[in-house]
Amino acid sequence: MNTYTLEATIVGEAFIPGPKMNAELKSLLKLDDEPAPDFCNRTDLSAEYMEFENHVPYIKPTLDKKHVCIFDHDGAVHITKPFRKGSQALACALYFVLIHKSLVT
């Protein structure tokens, strides 16, 4: 049997879920909604924008009952730090993708 090694980068150390991060995501997405959508508590919303950015995220539980989001970006695998909720991990992944996109364009 072949053994393969997967290298992944942990992201999201500076990500703090909440209203400020929701506002930051709203700004990065250039949305006009008032108030900012609750990305940190709505998995469907962040998943929709990740799909729009051509990313397929996977939310997985950890052994300590937290959640991480695993996703591919620019050919590299990234994993968010663990969050209390899957929606927070997904919002963190979306934030990473949008920040990277804003730095590249």
CATH classification at residue 32: 3.30.2120.10
In a domain, 64, yes or no: yes
In a domain, 46, yes or no: yes
Residue 17 tokens, joined = 């879920």
Percent of the chain with pLDDT over 70: 99
Residue 93: pLDDT above 70? Answer: yes
Specify the pLDDT at position 105: 66
Query: Residue 2 falls within a domain, yes or no?
Result: no
**Exposed e or buried b for every residue in 9-26, given b needs 16+ CB within 10 A?**
eebbeebebeeebbebbb
pLDDT of res. 11:
95
Q: Is residue 3 part of a domain?
A: no
Q: What is the pLDDT of residues 42-58, one digit of tens each?
A: 999 999 999 999 999 99
In a domain, 98, yes or no: yes
Token code pair at residue 32 = 């006009």
Pairing label, strands 8-11, 76-80:
parallel
pLDDT tens per residue, range 8-52: 999 999 999 999 999 999 999 999 878 899 999 999 999 999 999
Handedness of CA 81, 86, 89, 90 (dihedral sign): positive
Domain count, the chain: 1
Supply the mean pLDDT for the chain.
93
1 inside domain: no
C-alpha radius of gyration, the chain, whole number: 14
Instruction: Enumerate the β-bridge partners of residue 80.
Output: 11
Structure tokens at 91: 């919002």
Q: What range does the domain containing 38 cover?
A: 8-104
91 close to 17: Cβ distance less than 8 angstroms? yes
